[in-house]
Amino acid sequence: MSLAWPGPCLPAALGLPRPVRAFRRSRSRAATALRAAQDALPLGMALAAYARKVRRRQVLTGLGQICSVASWPVEAENLRSEVFAGEVMKSPLDSRNYRALTLQNGMKVLLASDPEAISAACALSVHLGFYSDPEDLPGLAHFCEHMLFLGTKEYPEENSFEKFLTANSGSQNAFTTESATTYFFDVSPGALQESLKRFSSFFREPLFTASGIEREVSAIDSEFAKNRENDGFRLAQLLKSTAAEGHPERHFGCGNRETLLSKGQEELRNQLLRYFQGYDPSLMALCVVGKEPLNVLQSTVEQYLGAVPRRSDAPRPRWAVAPYPPENPAKILEAVPVNELRSVLLEWTFDFENFAARKEFLLAKAQDYLAQILGHEGPGSMHSILKGKGWVNRTTAGVSFDQDDFAIFRLSFDVSEEGLRQKNAIFGAVFSVLNALRQGSPLQAVPDYTIQECRSLAELRWRFAEKLNSQPLCLDAVDLMQDGLSPAFYLSNRFLLLDPPGDGPSGGSLLKAIDHILEQLTPERARYRVFAKDVAPKQSEKWYGVPYRQTEIPKSVLQGWSKAPILPGWHVPDPNKFIPQNFALAWPQQDRIKAAALPPELIRNDERWRVFFKADRAFGIPKATCILQCWFPDPSEVKSNTPASSISTAEGRVLARLWQASLADRLTEEYYAARLAGLAANCASTVAGISLSFSGYSDKLLLFVQEVLQKIRDFDGPTPSEFARALDALKREQASFDFQQPYAHAAYFSRLATYIPEYPVEELRAATKRVTLEQVRNFSALLRAKEQSFFGQALIIGNLSVEAAKGILETFDVLPFKGALKGGTAEGLLRSRFAKLQPGQEILQVQPEPNPEETNHALVSLFWTGDELLDGLHSNLLDRVMKAPFYDSIRTQQQLGYIVQSQSDRIGNLARVLLIVQSSVRDPRGLLQAVDEFLVSFRAKLASLTDGLRAALEKRTGISSILTFL
CB contact at 8 A, 343 and 529:
yes
User: Helical H runs in 129-191?
Assistant: 140-147, 160-167
Summarised one tens digit per residue, pLDDT across range 123-134 is 999 999 999 999
How would residue 819 be classed by pLDDT, with cut points 50, 70 and 90? Answer: low
Query: On the CB side of 240, how many CA atoms lie within 13 Å of its CA?
Result: 23
Q: Is 557 exposed, middle or buried (0-12, 13-18, 19+ CB in 10 A)?
A: middle
| pLDDT at residue 511 greater than cutoff 60 | yes
Buried b (16+ CB within 10 A) or exposed e, 865-888: bbbeeebbebbbbbbbbbbbbbbb
Q: Identify which has the larger pLDDT, 12 or 369.
A: 369
- What DSSP character marks residue 766? H
Report the chain's mean pLDDT, rounded to a whole number: 85
- Residue 774: its pLDDT value, please? 95
How far apart CA 405 and CA 318 sit, in angstroms, is: 7
How would residue 690 be classed by pLDDT, with cut points 50, 70 and 90? Answer: confident
| pLDDT at residue 946 greater than cutoff 60 | no
- What DSSP character marks residue 950? H
User: Helical H runs in 482-610?
Assistant: 510-520, 555-562, 592-597
Instruction: Say which amino acid occupies 779.
Output: F
> Within 10 Å of residue 115's Cβ, how many Cβ atoms?
12
Q: Which residues fall within 8 angstroms of residue 8, CB to CB, at 6 or more apart? A: 36, 37, 38, 39, 747, 748, 750, 751, 755
| pLDDT at residue 871 greater than cutoff 80 | yes
CB contact at 8 A, 877 and 957:
yes
- What integer is the mean pLDDT of 604-633? 90
| pLDDT at residue 35 greater than cutoff 80 | no
| pLDDT at residue 8 greater than cutoff 50 | no
| pLDDT at residue 890 greater than cutoff 70 | yes
- 122 strand-pairing partners: 185, 288
Name which of 19-23, 101-105, 714-718, 747-751 the model is least confident about.
19-23
CB contact at 8 A, 462 and 492:
yes
- The pairing of beta strand 609-615 with beta strand 601-605: antiparallel
Summarised one tens digit per residue, pLDDT across range 742-779 is 988 988 888 888 777 788 999 999 999 999 999 999 98
User: Helical H runs in 48-178?
Assistant: 140-147, 160-167
- What integer is the mean pLDDT of 351-363? 95
Summarised one tens digit per residue, pLDDT across range 296-318 is 999 999 999 999 999 987 666 77
Query: On the CB side of 617, how many CA atoms lie within 13 Å of its CA?
Result: 17
Name which of 17-31, 166-180, 428-442, 680-694 the model is least confident about.
17-31
CB contact at 8 A, 604 and 628:
no
Q: Identify which has the larger pLDDT, 410 or 22.
A: 410
pTM of the model: 0.84
Q: Identify which has the larger pLDDT, 269 or 687.
A: 269
Distance of CA 425 to the CA centre of its chain: 33
- Peptide bond between residue 757 and the one before it cis (omega within 30 degrees of 0): yes
| pLDDT at residue 22 greater than cutoff 70 | no
- What integer is the mean pLDDT of 353-368? 95
Name which of 386-390, 589-593, 715-719 the model is least confident about.
589-593
Instruction: Say which amino acid occupies 16.
Output: L
- Residue 953: its pLDDT value, please? 52
- What integer is the mean pLDDT of 376-382? 96
> Within 10 Å of residue 483's Cβ, how many Cβ atoms?
20
- What integer is the mean pLDDT of 230-259? 96
CB contact at 8 A, 382 and 429:
yes
- The pairing of beta strand 45-49 with beta strand 23-26: unpaired
Q: Which residues fall within 8 angstroms of residue 476, CB to CB, at 6 or more apart? A: 468, 491, 494
CB contact at 8 A, 900 and 886:
yes
CB contact at 8 A, 160 and 147:
no
- What integer is the mean pLDDT of 660-672? 93
How far apart CA 213 and CA 261 sit, in angstroms, is: 10
Number of H helices, E strands in the chain: 33, 30
- Residue 549: its pLDDT value, please? 97
- What integer is the mean pLDDT of 587-608? 88
- What integer is the mean pLDDT of 319-325? 89
CB contact at 8 A, 679 and 695:
yes
CB contact at 8 A, 895 and 927:
no
- Residue 20: its pLDDT value, please? 25
- What integer is the mean pLDDT of 548-561? 96
Which residue spans within 477-592 are E strands per DSSP? Answer: 527-532, 539-540, 547-552
- What DSSP character marks residue 641? S
Backbone angles phi, psi at 830, to 5 degrees: -70, 135
Query: On the CB side of 441, how many CA atoms lie within 13 Å of its CA?
Result: 4
- What integer is the mean pLDDT of 12-39? 28
Among 793, 772, 779, which residue's Cα sits nearest to residue 642?
779
- The pairing of beta strand 331-335 with beta strand 527-532: parallel
How far apart CA 396 and CA 411 sit, in angstroms, is: 6
Backbone angles phi, psi at 814, to 5 degrees: -70, -20
- What DSSP character marks residue 893? I
- Residue 10: its pLDDT value, please? 23
CB contact at 8 A, 951 and 892:
no
How would residue 27 be classed by pLDDT, with cut points 50, 70 and 90? Answer: very low
Instruction: Say which amino acid occupies 557.
Output: V
How far apart CA 149 and CA 130 sit, in angstroms, is: 18
| pLDDT at residue 67 greater than cutoff 60 | no
Percent of the chain residues past pLDDT 90, beyond the cut: 63
How would residue 831 be classed by pLDDT, with cut points 50, 70 and 90? Answer: low
Summarised one tens digit per residue, pLDDT across range 447-485 is 999 999 999 999 999 999 988 999 999 999 999 999 999
Query: In the chain, helix, strand, coil percent, each to 5?
Result: 40, 20, 40
Q: Which residues fall within 8 angstroms of residue 856, CB to CB, at 6 or more apart? A: 225, 226, 741, 742, 897, 918, 919, 920
